[in-house]
Chain A
Amino acid sequence: MTHLSSETFGQNARDALRDPILHGALRSLADNFVERRRAAVSSVDDWEGLREKARAIKDETLLHLDKYLLRFVENAERGGVVVHWARDGHEACGIVLDLVNGAEAKMVVKSKSMATEEIHLNEALESAGIEPIETDLGEWIIQLAGETPSHIVVPAIHKTKSQIADLFVEKVGIDKTGDVDVLTGTARRILRRKFAEAKVGISGVNFGVAETGTILILENEGNIRMTTGLPKTHIAVMGIEKIIPKFADLDVFLKLLPRSGTGQRLTAYQSLITGIKRNTDDEGPDEIHIVLLDNGRSRMLAHPVTRQSLACIRCGACLNACPVYQQVGGHAYGSVYPGPIGAVITPQLIGISKAKQLPYASSLCGACREVCPVKIDIPELLLHLRAEIADGSRANPGRKKQFGEMVAFRLYGAMWSNARLYNFGTKASRLMQRLIVRDGKIGKAGRFISKVIPPLGAWTAWRDAPAVAPRTFREQWRGKLESNDGN
């Protein structure tokens, strides 16, 4: 499968909408996850208070991130962990490659990690002749299929059971079966062997506690336990925004994250890792490395509006709640992070000129803001990015696509801010629409009109447009309403 680009979001979305299998898969997402989340949230007495607490902790951390990062590093190093700093994805991949080569590993086991997706670690490992094995079931399926995750929590959400069964027939060589136990049993058998052989395990991180140098990773399958516990070397890749100040803060986030993400009160496993083993006879890796990743994050930190993007705890609730995501799925975004939070983070990570359509891929309905456990105002961020794009088009009026829109908004700005021109505009439209109005409405616009006024064509391809009223409010006001005031 070819990987889609953010620059072609509109086309990607149109293709996705024509895919009935994808549509079926996405429907179950909305039905299951949205409902499960709602039930899980209602099991907490003061959800709103909890969200506010979480956001306050994140705000405080981000405001003094330098201080908390250094405290985290100091405490992690005291426990025997080696900490590495990576400015960008390229540096991070280089660090991981050196460590894997140093451990003389030709194969590594990996647990699910969006940070490693973000830096395209698997490609980097493969091109260096190292085989990465994804051990999260969904990620493993995606890897078998040669695809990328379409959701940050449920990476294979776009695949149906039947598609997965076919994939197992093709790639693993078992007989076709609809029995989920057989499918998962097959994956378990294959992956167990890999765990036993691997010299290096690579994971992500959900939270890094500054006070103790602890990292916390959440999961349901037990594969993270094995990835971080069995191989001699454990490498954790961690965005610098994952820091929280105190161990006790976990109380807040552990109540929020599983409920928001999968609708669980708690995930099946929580791995808390504080330093390397104390005695050489103990189980666990001999070496733990944490790679701290910036990759554009300090840029987001600089501005008070964009800073809140870094409060995200990657729960995926905004994806599940988003009407746009529910329609097109994750791949259409053409980015590592899809959905509302992806539309906000991606332009900031890869540059706004490479993801110009994403901030517009929202009706600004605000469902994302409503479910966000850390109260990120995603619509505000989308508007902030849209303003950056519009200002960019002002600076470069040569860009064809944005030019028409810019002229339209200038015209609107000039005409509608003048009452006389506004009235004139209404009357002129009423006159001109006579050509196209039938039975008080504008039906499907002809090709000519669609060409002259593209937005009208886009509108009427699916919807009739209302005609301008025979008498405007102003005319009614002057005619009768004004004098009727009994007061």
Chain B
Amino acid sequence: MVEVLRRVDCGVVFDERQTCCGQPAFNTGYRREAQKFAKRFIEIFEESDADAIVSPSGSCTAMVKHFYELFPDDEEWRKRSERIAARTHEFCSFLVNVLKVDDVGASSSGRITWHDACHGLRDLGLRDEPRRLLKNVKGTEFVELQNADVCCGFGGTFSVKFPEISAGILDNKIEAIEKANVDAIVSGDSSCLMQIGGRLSRIGSKVKTMHIAEILASQE
């Protein structure tokens, strides 16, 4: 992501104090812990005068956009949450919607397809952005995945609380990927890629999983 952003003339800084947005705690019901992460995130990024906070994850970005829900009775933190949320962008959305760039000069090879990660798709409304970026990767052929917008079954702690259901949902995704006959499946969230890649690896498939930042960075 850093390489791509620099290629399109952005200066990138990284504050090493940052850790996690706290989404795992929020999604499992542990709001006190999630609040702690949110405050920390807000405090660290408030110190930065960067024009935008960019994350290579629709899921983390969506969490930042949900921070305000953690402070139902605290007007000040709600406001601070909203200010940070307004500056925070998912990577593809930042490229296409903010910078108005849909060709980052990437080149690779093979047949590729896209899996819509749920939070990017339904919380942030990203559907065309990643597809436009991928279609402009030279040397590759983009094909649409059947039911690309259906969940891969990860769902955070869901994947280990109900591993059988999670795997059942995942198998539909794997079936669609095999039908698409691609070299790589690309997505915008590492959690989906871990879920999909974990199963592909287990069944000995040759299909690679790639984060969209990886393929956009590549110049073969």
Q: Of A10-18, A137-145, A156-164, A215-223, which stretch is located at the interface?
A: A10-18
State the CA gap A10–B16 with chains docked (Å): 40
Find chain A residues with CB under 8 A from B168 CB: 17, 327
> Does A79 lie at the interface of the complex (its beta carbon under 8 Å from any beta carbon of B)?
no
Q: Are A17 and B30 in contact (CB under 8 A)?
A: no
Known: A419-B16, A482-B14, A486-B6. A364 touches B160 (CB 8 A): no
Among B2, B167, B197, contact of A466 (Cβ-Cβ < 8 Å): B197
State the CA gap A410–B122 with chains docked (Å): 29
B117 — nearest CB in chain A belongs to which residue? A365
Find chain A residues with CB under 8 A from B40 CB: 417
State the CA gap A197–B6 with chains docked (Å): 81
> Which chain B residues numbered 153 to 177 have a C-beta less than 8 Å away from chain A?
153-170, 172
Q: Are A367 and B150 in contact (CB under 8 A)?
A: yes
Q: Of A146-154, A175-183, A199-207, A453-461, which stretch is located at the interface?
A: A453-461
> Does B136 lie at the interface of the complex (its beta carbon under 8 Å from any beta carbon of A)?
no
Q: Are A419 and B151 in contact (CB under 8 A)?
A: no
Q: Are A363 and B12 in contact (CB under 8 A)?
A: no
> Does A324 lie at the interface of the complex (its beta carbon under 8 Å from any beta carbon of B)?
yes
Q: Which of B22, B26, B168 has the most CB of A within 10 A?
A: B168
B10 — nearest CB in chain A belongs to which residue? A487
Q: Of B78-86, B137-145, B198-206, which stretch is located at the interface?
A: B198-206
Scoring B residues 8 to 43 as 1 if CB is less than 8 Å from chain A, else 0, what string do you get? 011111101111101011111111110011001000
Q: Are B30 and A409 in contact (CB under 8 A)?
A: yes
> Does A47 lie at the interface of the complex (its beta carbon under 8 Å from any beta carbon of B)?
no
Find chain B residues with CB under 8 A from A364 CB: 27, 118, 155-156, 158
Q: Of A228-236, A280-288, A387-395, which stretch is located at the interface?
A: A387-395
Main DSSP-derived SS at the A contact region = helix
Find chain B residues with CB under 8 A from A416 CB: 19-20, 37
Interface size on A, residues (CB 8 A): 60
Q: Which of A413, A466, A485 has the most CB of B within 10 A?
A: A413
Scoring A residues 447 to 471 as 1 if CB is less than 8 Å from chain B, else 0, what string do you get? 0000000110011011111100000
| Min C-beta distance of A29 to chain B, whole Å | 14
Interface size on B, residues (CB 8 A): 61
Q: Are A366 and B6 in contact (CB under 8 A)?
A: no
Find chain B residues with CB under 8 A from A326 CB: 169
Q: Which of A328, A385, A441, A458 has the most CB of B within 10 A?
A: A458
> Does A484 lie at the interface of the complex (its beta carbon under 8 Å from any beta carbon of B)?
yes
> Does A474 lie at the interface of the complex (its beta carbon under 8 Å from any beta carbon of B)?
yes
Find chain A residues with CB under 8 A from B158 CB: 360, 362-364
| Min C-beta distance of B19 to chain A, whole Å | 4
> Does B99 lie at the interface of the complex (its beta carbon under 8 Å from any beta carbon of A)?
no
Q: Are A459 and B17 in contact (CB under 8 A)?
A: no
Q: Are B27 and A383 in contact (CB under 8 A)?
A: yes
Known: A383-B26, A462-B199. A367 touches B37 (CB 8 A): no
Known: A363-B166, A367-B150, A412-B25. A474 touches B31 (CB 8 A): no
> Does A85 lie at the interface of the complex (its beta carbon under 8 Å from any beta carbon of B)?
no
> Does B107 lie at the interface of the complex (its beta carbon under 8 Å from any beta carbon of A)?
no
> Which chain A residues numbered 363 to 410 have a C-beta less than 8 Å away from chain B?
363-367, 369-370, 380, 383, 385-391, 405-406, 409-410
Q: Are B29 and A13 in contact (CB under 8 A)?
A: no
Among A366, A417, A458, A481, contact of B2 (Cβ-Cβ < 8 Å): A481
Hey, which bits of chain A sit against chain B, CB under 8 A? 10, 13-14, 17, 323-324, 326-328, 359-367, 369-370, 380, 383, 385-391, 405-406, 409-410, 412-413, 416-419, 422, 441, 443, 454-455, 458-459, 461-466, 474, 477, 481-482, 484-487
4 more contacts with CB within 8 A, not counting A360-B157, A367-B151, are: A388-B29, A390-B31, A418-B19, A463-B201
28 contacts between A and B (CB under 8 A): A13-B162, A13-B165, A14-B164, A17-B168, A323-B169, A324-B162, A360-B157, A363-B159, A366-B118, A387-B30, A405-B157, A406-B30, A409-B30, A409-B33, A412-B24, A413-B36, A417-B19, A422-B19, A441-B201, A461-B167, A462-B167, A462-B199, A463-B202, A477-B14, A482-B14, A485-B6, A485-B13, A487-B11
